[in-house]
Amino acid sequence: MSLILKRSDISYLKFIMEGYDGLGIVTTLDPFMAQAMVTYPLSRRQTLEELIDALVDEGVIKEVIES
C-alpha cells in the first residue's frame, strides 16, 4: 500500500509504525513528493487499515493508494 503524506510527517509515520511491533515496514519512495510504501503481513491488514484511517483523520496521510 502506498501513501501520500505531508513531508514533515514521514518520520512520524515511521515512528508510529515502529510502535506497532510487526505491523508493517515503512519505506520512503519519494522524499520530495512525500510518498511512502507500507509492506505488511496479510494477518495484520485490519489493524493497519484502522491505523491508516486514524492517521487520515489526523491529517498525517493525505492519500492512500492501494496496490
Enter the C-alpha cell of residue 39. 509492506
With contact defined as beta carbons under 8 Å apart, do 19 and 39 qualify? Answer: no
Question: Where does the chain show beta strands of DSSP type E?
Answer: 2-5, 25-30, 35-39, 61-65
Q: What is the pLDDT of residues 5-58, one digit of tens each?
A: 999 999 999 999 999 988 999 999 999 999 999 999 999 999 999 999 999 999
- As beta bridge partners, residue 30 has 35
Q: Is the pTM of this model over 0.85?
A: yes
**pLDDT band at 67, cuts 50/70/90?**
low
